[in-house]
Structure 1
């Protein structure tokens, strides 16, 4: 969805994609939609001398304008209600489980299969088990894109600021989107991240997990990177040192490098600090992207208010979260719980 929407902006006239990294270009596109949406609500009259209150009021108006909040009619509320109802039905069924079979509390008949037991209750005793609502609702593609843009920018900012609580909070939404779009690897990773902080770890360990969710390599604010990126950097450093040994590398030499790489780097940094040695720049200078964003915003504003923008390619758009099957998701959660019980 993100790539398709960006192609609508006549990108060849705005950004030279051969020179601009793909990630930065996506950030420009998401920022342009957010800026354009803020300009729409600002024109409706929203001013305040206090900058914090001004930004808060603007953001709230954007959320209300696109119905981006978690309301009773949103897909997130529907999924939550379905999961709660399915879980309640499951508890009633397992209350009638005896050893390795199910025994009907009304007639005493036994079943070894849960599926046949459910059919017996619905057909014979007229039980009404909850059926998940699978009706897909058509939504504005731009509104959903804006929601994901805000989620993306907020998650990036939370890692840069080492705000673990915000990262975990956003992980709930990201997990739902991964569930809807069938990204199995990230779905499991985010699920484990959430369960560790909320259920498995104690209060103190959970706080430390959030506190150390990112690491700062260069110093200064907003220079933190996620821990998995730091591990990747360390692995590349180890590989680089190991390749210098040529044919002489072995398991023992790799083990020695793993144990000494960080220590040697710390000693080197300490010597450079003591001798006041100038450190060579290894980071790229920040590019001024305001011109690109301004052109994108101008292009979007030509279409009118952002909430009314409709692309022809997305006439049959369906909200991603509306495609989540609550019964399948509940079964997946139950399977993950069983796996956790086996290894803990």
Structure 2
């Protein structure tokens, strides 16, 4: 839910109603009345998620149509799809280049970590001793000032990206990232989920989503550092659970726990005033067993199982309407949201020094409790 809330916080604004192809304008175009903005993403998750996916699909389809009009050979289907995909990515500048904010943050963190290792090499007990003149300091800040002023050390200074970015390209990058994460959970692809968690962690750091930021950090550290190779593989292998069968019907383990908790609450509510700690404990121990017995009886007696999944709505008409609207004024790559002229990529606001200090604090907390 927080993944989609990030996008609605950044790009769903009433002031962009006159911008061609903005989320707010397309919402009015196809009359999605149940889409109301970031405040209701949690309460009305499905309509907001569906609208976001439809807008993303419309941009991708429009870009593909522009690319195919330029001419592509379809002799080899794989090369044909790869060529179109690369052209669509180039159209919106979706690739991670050396000049992107992600590369800048990575380079800054590496340089800051290298400086920190040099400083801690001169740490003696509870103070810092200069290796050049032997002077001692108890404060790291004053020790840095001494090295830069007296010995002309050049410690790395993190830079921020101040230039404006294309809001359309950033919207599609975030939307495709979060869609890929949802697909990875549906297909139980733990390796892809952990890979995307790095990007999501950076976005949550930029947008100050502290709780989700810590959760993603712990997920990354467990799989890469804390757990062994075998345990990490098992963690990623069991990152989701399948309740209904089928390759795309997996749900995250957190959702499965939430379903189980709701089942327990439902059973407790049937007891009225007679519910107690002991009855709750018994229900927790027997709910899954009773459900398994029920499934076995239905299987042996060949009882028809009622449908528990809601039918999928056909949104192709809305997508085609948005595609036609987007292509009215020329190539899709020229679409620009005028109200986002001063838009800056969220990652450009990340201070690498503060992020490095936060990582160090999390390491100290882990060492304290583990």
Q: TM-score, normalised by structure 1?
A: 0.92
Tell me if 1:99 matches 2:122: no
Is the 1:137–1:319 Cα contact (8 Å) retained in structure 2? no
Shift of 1:5: 12
Is the 1:143–1:307 Cα contact (8 Å) retained in structure 2? no
Rounded Cα–Cα distance in structure 2 between residues aligned with 1:74 and 1:4:
33
2:237 maps to which residue?
211
* CA shift in 2, pair 1:172/1:148, >3 Å: same
Shift of 1:56: 2.4
Shift of 1:45: 2.0
Shift of 1:318: 0.5
Rounded Cα–Cα distance in structure 1 between residues aligned with 2:51 and 2:91:
26
* CA shift in 2, pair 1:74/1:81, >3 Å: same
Is the 1:136–1:319 Cα contact (8 Å) retained in structure 2? no
Rounded Cα–Cα distance in structure 1 between residues aligned with 2:28 and 2:194:
28
* CA shift in 2, pair 1:232/1:47, >3 Å: farther
* CA shift in 2, pair 1:226/1:74, >3 Å: same
Is the 1:168–1:193 Cα contact (8 Å) retained in structure 2? yes
Rounded Cα–Cα distance in structure 2 between residues aligned with 1:46 and 1:149:
26
Unaligned segments of structure 1, at least 5 residues:
none
Deviations 1:227-276 (A, max 9, x none): 11111111111111111111111111111111111111111011111111
Q: Map of 1:59-98 to 2, 5 A cutoff?
A: 59-98=85-124
Rounded Cα–Cα distance in structure 1 between residues aligned with 2:207 and 2:163:
16
* CA shift in 2, pair 1:328/1:19, >3 Å: closer
Q: TM-score, normalised by structure 2?
A: 0.86
Is the 2:56–2:175 Cα contact (8 Å) retained in structure 1? yes
Q: Secondary structure at the match of 2:241?
A: strand
Q: What is the number of residues matched between the two proteins?
A: 340
* CA shift in 2, pair 1:312/1:340, >3 Å: same
Is the 1:2–1:145 Cα contact (8 Å) retained in structure 2? no
Shift of 1:143: 0.7
Is the 1:215–1:225 Cα contact (8 Å) retained in structure 2? yes
Shift of 1:4: 12
Unaligned segments of structure 2, at least 5 residues:
1-24, 35-40
Deviations 1:287-340 (A, max 9, x none): 111111111111111232222111121011111111111001101111111111
* CA shift in 2, pair 1:139/1:9, >3 Å: farther
* CA shift in 2, pair 1:112/1:5, >3 Å: farther
Shift of 1:24: 1.6
The CA RMSD measured in Å over matched residues stands at: 3.0
